[in-house]
A and B are shown apart, each in its own frame.
Chain A
């Protein structure tokens, strides 16, 4: 060992060794600790490291539960197997085996018998074939001999050969018989064998099947039950290999999310905790069966979260559902942070704001819902009876419970926090916005309908409300052809796609085909001065709800930010009313030609079907505060009432009898786009109804007096608005000369463009001069024509402007100020978005676009000084409840009146607000790839268009369509005066199957021509539809009813016997006792039948051949009328021998066909002429008339 020179160290080696040792221990310890913390994070609460690995706990709970399930299932399977006779079968098998082995000889004998039979059969078959050949030879020898001897049978040679042939033939016949016997014997012995063997095979198969089931369950159970196996596979560190407690995920690669500006597939780890999500509940039968056998069953829907299963397995998660979890995952609908594995950070959003009772579960140290008493389950409204002692129960909101159980805190920076169950339907919108009547999307449907009706979309652009289907242009398609294919208006397509007049398509181009076109929801105000009076208008604007509690018109004054300025409000309201009346057209409505009878008018309103869309309800007028209407508003009835026409109580305070008369006679003359159809009222009817309605006054509105609009305030506010564009001094002066600022409101739409582009007139005049000059030089006629046209146009504009100047000049000074201020206020509040108002034809809506509102960051929302939770949805709810509340506390301090919030307050219930919130929060910036979006099939497209038309026309006010609606039908059914059900549940009637499309088209276009029950009081209105619109409905009914379309004429059996039998049945069943035939019923012309007998009559059968489909009559209607139209008066006959054993041999089906075919000839040229006496057993054939 060499002596090394002492190296100089700043440190001491041995001491360093100690340090190494120490740090080694520290590292080892921290490694162990790390592993332990990682491993035990969830289920070692004593370590005070809560939360991070909660999912381990849940997986543990799940497997414990699942083990129990397996044990139960195994037990059940065993019992079931025994029930199915496992033991017996095993016995059988053994016995059979025993028998088989015991009688081995028999088996051998059987086999020998088969063998022998086969040999015998072979031999005889061979012999038979040989002898048959011999016989054929003999025959031919005989024939040859015969020919040789010139057909003389007496020649011995011939006779001999004939004898031989005959003998041989007999022999062959005998052999044939023997062969058949041998065949049969062989088959019989084979059968014997099969029976014996087959029985055994079958038994063994059954036993195996039952056995396997039990084995499978018990193996899995043992595997899970074995604590050793569990302990090893889930041990620290090695758990990664094959642990059952592990990280799990669904990669929904068709659905994407944005992570740090990159689009990546969603990777959902929700199932790490929600492990029971796809577990099915036992069927009621299974539950009963197990209860009987005292085997427990786990109901996954009753497990505490997160182990509960999905509540709508038929729609989601399940493999056979339209949205299986394996491809859709969870967060595509529920939102939340897909990759996160902790409760809070994954974005769970608490549900209810109301408190509920919770108790602390001692075993899990978790707060759980206090159990309710059993009889409570069916009735949620009943006060909760808590079983446990009251002292343990704490009333908490879900949020508070989560804070206690999971240390929950809001994830402020999560862009897609989980949607609470209440609003989860919002997610449907991104894929299904073109579809309505969504199963499981009822709230969304209600919300969208509400948005359509309230007109939210008319101020706020909402792309999701512009529903369309997307067409990918294929080779050879042109624009016209495309429009024709979809049967849509080319202009609507151009508008939606922003196409120019001339459209050329390229292959692969996407063209959006509109499903519907929304129209301004409010009535036109172009002629408002002829309809109502200024006084009413002011009261209405002041508080629409006071006059009509169920109105869609929002309130603009008396709200949070202007309730304190009643005088200012009075000035604004007055200015708007003055403006509307000043610019309104003034058509004259003369006194009706006949005197009206209010009493009869009232009766008519009840009978004609007005109540399908309107309501006349004094109750609605008594109410002071909208909140007290809640009960009434919440029910379906209210939504229906609210859905179409205005409530008519008090309408006389608003409109006069003359206007009402003209309106009732033809609503479209006043407002071309009105939804009100024409009821084809006679002069007297219209006068009666108008008199009745004009007499309905809202006394409170009549007596109400509004504060006077003060002149000095009018000046002040006018100057305020002038100041927007002018310096203060000039504004003060300008108020005295407003003419040039208001002139433009008194010209038409075309001329207004000259005001919007003030240089235009001068430009056109210069242009004219140039043209004139050119003409003088060239004498070109074309130039002359152009010049003259332009000159005329300029002249016309000048005349119009001059007229407007005169009108304005003739106005009072105050009126001018009012018109000026009114125009500014209409601009401010955006009234023109819902109403037609002169002067605002091209004005842009005032609302913010909401197409991506659902993704708006919360920090972009102004909560003002309102103390609510800082969340997207709570903001929106507050906005809808009290739209101006965010101005609370800062009026006059920081803001000018013009800067205040201006959205109107709609009179909405909490339920309605939730529905709207659902829709708006579903309008997000999520981009879908074509794969993800739900494409409509052509049939679905047509059905959606039809649904939209049905909604727009409010068909369901009277009829039942898609099993909805039918209020008028419900009231008429007792008296036999009901409008028919048009499409019900799948087993009920579908209009498309019942009537012929041509007839339906005609009837929709002109109902008066196809009346089959002319005595009905309720009247199918004329909606004034275009051919295209009527076709939409016809197609809708055909496609929705899965009926044949286009329609093909049926084959009618025209044989005289068949029709005569039909006629005989027709008479025997006394069809004509109710049905009209040839304009007669009971042998009397319709006009002679007393009125009280009319309701028991039935449709005119002379029109049946034009109206009804034979298939439907034969296969549905006559077979079971009640199944088609509940409540129908058409009886079901027991066709066949029960009613007519002598007709068509008592064959029910044939009788129905004959009857239908006969009815389908009524009113046609083929009609059976003669009456066949009823009792004749066989009908004498009658000749149909020759066709011309």
Chain B
């Protein structure tokens, strides 16, 4: 059932041709949609730390596990090239990726970075946060940030989909990072869209990962300078 749907999506996906012939200029983009009645985001009680409760006196903190946008698209889906780039190496960007703890939650909730790329963790709250990363392949770390505006820089040595962050002081806090060996990844935002740009021509497996609904994989072939679209559809698993 699901498979045939996926197949249909692939079949009807529209081919957008481009005239560019430059190398590594293909792109894949698309939307992540959510099928079915969107689950409601639950309020998180933040009384455990008065500082957090203070910050959310007016606007309660909402659970970000499943965020369905108003247009029925799904937010926080990590889309990446799962295979097809074997043997290629990419430089690690020197610019750090930022992960901020603000209002006792993580921003962004889902993001991507490359192996050995610096990850700058910022505490914007006037309370103690500890950033506890639990990778299976790289080294586990757990750093306490007692002061406001503290910054800590860490890296991951091995690729991994996905690494979970938690805060042991505030157990509701949670974030995920996809640690990649290539720069082709994207996270769906408020419009549910993603795009992977600058791909070399080739045949790829593109995967979409969601923290609750798991991972979907589709195959796609792009030529030089070609821009293709690829859509993913998630739904609540039957219980």
Contact = CB atoms under 8 A, between A and B. Distances in A.
Contacts of A368: none
A1133 interface: yes
Given A1074-B168, A1095-B171, A1096-B168, A1127 B143 contact: no
B2 to A, nearest CB: 29
Given A1129-B130, A1132-B144, 11 more contacts: A1070-B127, A1070-B146, A1070-B169, A1074-B168, A1093-B48, A1096-B168, A1127-B134, A1130-B142, A1132-B143, A1133-B146, A1139-B150
A338 B134 CA distance: 55
A889 interface: no
B147 interface: yes
A1122 B146 contact: no
B169 A1121 contact: no
A1073 B130 CA distance: 12
A976 interface: yes
B140 A1131 contact: no
A1132 B147 contact: no
User: Which 10 residue pairs across A and B have the least CB separation, nearest first?
Assistant: A1131-B144, A1131-B130, A1129-B168, A1070-B128, A1133-B144, A1069-B146, A1131-B142, A1096-B171, A1093-B48, A1073-B128
Dominant SS at the A interface? loop
A343 to B, nearest CB: 48
A976 B168 contact: yes
Interface in A1048-1073: 1068-1070, 1073
B165 to A, nearest CB: 12
Nearest to A1069: B146
A343 B221 CA distance: 62
Contact residues on B (Cβ < 8 Å of other chain), bracket = 20 to 34
A957 B48 CA distance: 33
A1138 interface: yes
Contacts of B150: 1138-1139
Interface of B: 48-50, 127-128, 130-132, 134, 140-144, 146-147, 150, 152, 168-171
Contact of A1126 (B140, B147, B171): B140
Contacts of B48: 1082, 1093, 1096
A1139 B140 contact: no
A1128 interface: yes
Interface in A1103-1150: 1121-1122, 1126-1134, 1138-1139
Nearest to A1089: B48
A1133 B142 CA distance: 9
Contacts of B143: 1131-1134
Contacts of A1133: 143-144, 146
B79 to A, nearest CB: 27
A485 B54 CA distance: 62
A1139 B146 contact: yes
A1069 B152 CA distance: 15
B140 A1127 contact: yes
27 contacts: A976-B168, A1068-B146, A1068-B147, A1069-B128, A1070-B127, A1073-B127, A1082-B48, A1093-B48, A1096-B168, A1096-B170, A1122-B140, A1127-B134, A1127-B140, A1128-B142, A1129-B142, A1129-B168, A1130-B142, A1131-B132, A1131-B143, A1131-B168, A1133-B143, A1133-B144, A1134-B152, A1138-B150, A1139-B146, A1139-B147, A1139-B150
Contact of B142 (A1070, A1093, A1132): A1132
A782 B141 CA distance: 80
A375 to B, nearest CB: 16
Nearest to A1068: B146
A1126 B135 CA distance: 12
A4 to B, nearest CB: 106
A1140 to B, nearest CB: 8
A227 to B, nearest CB: 49
Contacts of A1121: 142
A1129 B171 CA distance: 11
Nearest to B140: A1122
A1122 B142 CA distance: 7
B157 to A, nearest CB: 15
Nearest to A1072: B128
A976 B169 CA distance: 12
Contacts of B168: 976, 1074, 1096, 1129, 1131
Contacts of A1074: 168-169
Nearest to B144: A1131
A1129 B132 contact: yes
Given A1138-B150, A1139-B147, A1139-B150, A1073 B169 contact: yes
Contacts of B132: 1129, 1131
A618 B49 CA distance: 44
A6 to B, nearest CB: 107
B15 to A, nearest CB: 38
A1070 B146 CA distance: 7
A377 B150 CA distance: 50
B146 to A, nearest CB: 5
A1080 B128 CA distance: 18
Contacts of B134: 1127
A1073 B140 contact: no
Contacts of B141: 1122, 1132
B152 to A, nearest CB: 7
A976 B142 CA distance: 15
Nearest to A975: B171
B49, B132, B150, B152 pick with most chain A CB within 10 angstroms: B132
B49, B134, B168 pick with most chain A CB within 10 angstroms: B168
A1128 to B, nearest CB: 7
Nearest to B50: A1082
A1134 B168 CA distance: 17
Contacts of A1128: 142
B50, B146, B152, B169 pick with most chain A CB within 10 angstroms: B146
B138 to A, nearest CB: 12
A1128 B143 CA distance: 11
A707 B169 CA distance: 64
B233 to A, nearest CB: 30
Contact of B49 (A1073, A1095, A1122): A1073
Contacts of B146: 1068-1070, 1133, 1139
Interface string A453-487: 00000000000000000000000000000000000
Contacts of A1082: 48-50
Contacts of A1138: 150
A580 B96 CA distance: 75
A1138 B121 CA distance: 14
A192 to B, nearest CB: 48
Nearest to B48: A1093
A1139 B129 CA distance: 13
Nearest to B151: A1138
Nearest to B168: A1129
B48, B130, B171 pick with most chain A CB within 10 angstroms: B48
Nearest to B146: A1069
A1138 B143 CA distance: 12
Contacts of A976: 168, 171
Contacts of B130: 1129, 1131
B122 to A, nearest CB: 14
A1093 B171 CA distance: 8
A1138 B145 CA distance: 10
A976, A1070, A1121, A1139 pick with most chain B CB within 10 angstroms: A1070
A23 B47 CA distance: 115
B142 A1096 contact: no
Contacts of A1129: 130, 132, 142, 168
A489 B171 CA distance: 50
Given A1134-B152, A1139-B150, A1069 B169 contact: no
B144 A1069 contact: yes
A776 B236 CA distance: 102
Contacts of A1134: 143, 152
Contacts of B50: 1082
A1082 B47 CA distance: 10
